Amino acid sequence: MDTLRYETDGAGLLTLTIDRPDKLNALSAGVISDLDDAFREASADDDVRGLLLTGAGEKAFVAGADISQFPDLGAAAARRFAERGQAVFSQIEQMPKPVVAAVNGVALGGGCELALACHLRVASPSAQFGQPEASLGIIPGYGGTQRLPRVVGRGVATEMILTGDPIGAERAREVGLVNRVAADAAEAARELLRSILENGPEAIRLSLEALRASDQPLEAGLRHEAALFGQAFATDDATEGATAFLEGREPAFEGR
Ligand code: COA
């Protein structure tokens, strides 16, 4: 992959680093394609249990879609452009393993949308989040108008999208866009992932699926939750979790 570093630590953690620092990691068609391939591969790889996504360099997580693609795009191609990015970002959101964004600088436009497609976000104190598309005469197209209000509420999302003004890491934490702010965002994201991975992999997978169902109306979401709760009890990990608790020892989950 030309624009993405794929690095495993031998203990279940995969770090994906978008690697175009000279263009502030802007999302070219090549980056989108590399993200598609990397998440597909990671999903199928049993040795990968959790993923960290970050950007190369000191300045940017991702400074947005690559604007050099925009001037001659046209309506029909723009729609396909949005659909392609949305499909890749939905694949990230639908990963059965936890995905944490370590936002080490600006996350603007498609960068903010990419962070939103991850399950959790950790930011460095200098990180900035924004949807500046309106200042370019367009609107977000990689899910920003849908995922941002779901994460921060429609009021804050409306302000961010209509003004185009970015917010800093602390404000992002206040509004729930960021889970943690830490000087070393990547290391804090790894710590977060390690603490998640102490739990049963099947429980994590089923939890992520149940959380996605919270986009549905409540009654449908509750039915979905009950079905997944049933599936959890079909695993050996559920027996191990309860038995370990009753025996006063740490559980040894096997992901079955
Ligand atoms: N698309 C394409 N290239 C981008 C880019 C983007 N979204 N963001 C930055 N770059 C490029 C710049 O063109 C520049 O390339 P060059 O050195 O070949 O001229 C390089 O990355 C460095 O960016 P630069 O603007 O010089 O850095 P800066 O520190 O002065 O400013 C930003 C940083 C993030 C404020 C500024 O780059 C910016 O506003 N980027 C666009 C953000 C945006 O609107 N994103 C949403 C797109 S929908």
Give tens-digit pLDDT for 122-172: 999 999 999 999 999 999 999 999 999 999 999 999 999 999 999 999 999
Concerning whether 219 is annotated as a catalytic residue, the answer is no
In a domain, 163, yes or no: yes
1, pLDDT greater than 90: no
**Residue 98: which pLDDT band, with cuts at 50, 70 and 90?**
very high
- 171, β-bridge pairs: none
193, pLDDT greater than 90: yes
CB 213 within 8 A of CB 220: yes
CB 75 within 8 A of CB 87: no
pLDDT of residue 81: 97
* Angstrom distance (rounded) from CA 160 to CA 133: 10
Q: Are residues 9 and 56 in the same domain?
A: yes
CA of 160 to the centre of ligand 1 (A): 19
In a domain, 254, yes or no: no
In a domain, 94, yes or no: yes
C-beta atoms surrounding 75 within 10 Å: 6
Q: Does an H or E element contain 122, and which?
A: strand 120-123
Atom of ligand 1 nearest to the CA of 24: 21
CB 111 within 8 A of CB 167: no
Q: Are residues 13 and 109 in the same domain?
A: yes
**Residue 220: which pLDDT band, with cuts at 50, 70 and 90?**
very high
Q: Are residues 51 and 102 in the same domain?
A: yes
Q: Are residues 116 and 243 in the same domain?
A: no
240, pLDDT greater than 90: yes
The whole domain housing 159 covers: 4-197
In a domain, 256, yes or no: no
Q: Are residues 240 and 115 in the same domain?
A: no
In a domain, 24, yes or no: yes
Can you give the pTM of this predicted structure? 0.97
Taking residues 179-196, what's their average pLDDT?
97
Q: Are residues 61 and 112 in the same domain?
A: yes
Percent share of the chain, pLDDT over 90: 97
**Strand 120-123 to 167-168 pairing:** unpaired
Atom 8, ligand 1: which residue's CA is nearest? 63
Q: Are residues 237 and 163 in the same domain?
A: no
pLDDT in tens, 41-65: 999 999 999 999 999 999 999 999 9
Atom of ligand 1 nearest to the CA of 60: 34
pLDDT of residue 41: 97
Q: Does an H or E element contain 101, and which?
A: strand 99-103
In a domain, 252, yes or no: no
Q: Are residues 42 and 91 in the same domain?
A: yes
The burial class, CB within 10 Å (0-12 / 13-18 / 19+), for 88 is: buried
CATH number of the domain within which 234 lies: 1.10.12
Structural domain tally of the chain? 2
In a domain, 253, yes or no: no
Annotated active-site residue in 58, 83, 93, 133: 133
